[in-house]
Amino acid sequence: MAKGMREIKRQIKSVQNTKQITKAMEMVAASKLRKAQEKAESARPYSEKLREVVTSIAAGTKGIKHPMLDKRPVKRIAYLVVTSDRGLAGGYNANILRHVSNEIRQHQNEGREYELFVIGRKGRDYFRRRSMSVTDTVTELTDFPTYADIKSLAQAAIQGYEEGRYDELYVCYNRFINALTQTPTSALLLPMDTGSMEKSSLAASYEYEPSAEEVLAELLPKYAQTLIYEALLEGKASEQGARMTAMGSATKNASQMINDLSLVYNRARQAAITQEITEIVAGANAQG
């Protein structure tokens, strides 16, 4: 009985140590979440204004052409997938990777090929384990990445569309709703849909120098790169939210396990004490 009680005490101690770790990770993730949210929100005004200008040029200039606006018959699709480098974030990575895999499978059934660009070690390893070729990847990002960290990958993905290697480019990420909810999202990045904003809704009119075509040729790649970076920031906020929630749940589960084990330990100790008293009483009776 004493041996069993020692094992239960060791198990309680182990769970208590785990609880301390998960509680610390929850608090760190909560702190990082606030900063990640701020970065994601601060990027939106810039992308919205850039979108307004690009749409104004494309919608207000007749006969304007650019490779990023060309719609082609879809035979090959590229996916830029945002995942994390580390785990312990609940279903954050599993949800987006399952979402992308289902889309790839559906398009393959329709006779379309695919190409992959991946941000994050979890996504890279997931596709490699399944022998799915990854064209380009970026790993070991900080919790608060800059655009320079993914610039080469973003440019490569956009250039592939301009060269005609694929006919659509999607950016796939977990859209941040709140700390409890992150939605797997696939957003069509290329070809750009300039008809999504009516010309009459534009807040201002613009004059262009040297020409609308040349300004558009300069702005379109920057706009696409900005959308990729914005998706990365959304993904980072989602990652911290998912990690905070997962570690919070782990801490609660550890507390429940400690309570259950403590109850088992107290019952075992009570049984041991009762047995000792019974033995003492029995011995006394035998001598009397």
Radius of gyration of the chain (CA): 28
What is the extent of the structural domain holding 196? Answer: 27-245
Say what angle helices 212-287 and 92-109 make with each other, to 10 degrees. Answer: 130
In tens digits, the chain (288 residues) has pLDDT values of 555 788 989 999 999 999 999 999 999 999 999 999 999 888 888 888 888 888 777 776 666 777 888 889 999 999 999 999 999 999 999 999 999 999 999 999 999 999 999 999 999 999 999 999 999 999 999 999 999 999 999 999 999 999 999 999 999 999 998 888 999 999 999 998 766 544 444 455 667 777 777 888 888 888 999 999 999 999 999 999 999 999 999 999 999 999 999 999 898 888 878 887 887 777 777 775
What are the start-end ranges of the H helices in the chain? 2-60, 92-109, 121-129, 151-162, 212-287
For residue 269, the model assigns a pLDDT of: 85
Taking residue 59's Cβ as centre, other Cβ atoms within 10 Å add up to: 17
Q: Which residue from 93, 63, 259 is spatially nearest to 184, judged by alpha carbons?
A: 93
d(CA 288, CA 285): 5
> Could you tell me if residue 89 is inside a domain?
yes
Strand partners, 221: none
Spatial distance between the Cα atoms of 62 and 253, rounded to a whole number of angstroms:
62
User: What distance in Å separates the CA atoms of residue 167 and residue 188, rounded to the nearest whole number?
Assistant: 11
What CATH number is attached to the domain comprising 131? 3.40.1380.10
Residue 238 resides in a domain: yes
Asked whether residue 116 is assigned to any structural domain, the reply reads yes
Tell me whether residue 7 is in a domain.
no
Strands 76-82 and 168-178, by their bridges, are parallel
The answer as to whether 124 is a domain residue is yes
Model pLDDT, residue 126: 97
The domain tally of the chain equals 1
As to burial, measured by CB atoms within 10 angstroms (0-12 exposed, 13-18 middle, 19+ buried), residue 207 is exposed
Q: Is residue 18 part of a domain?
A: no
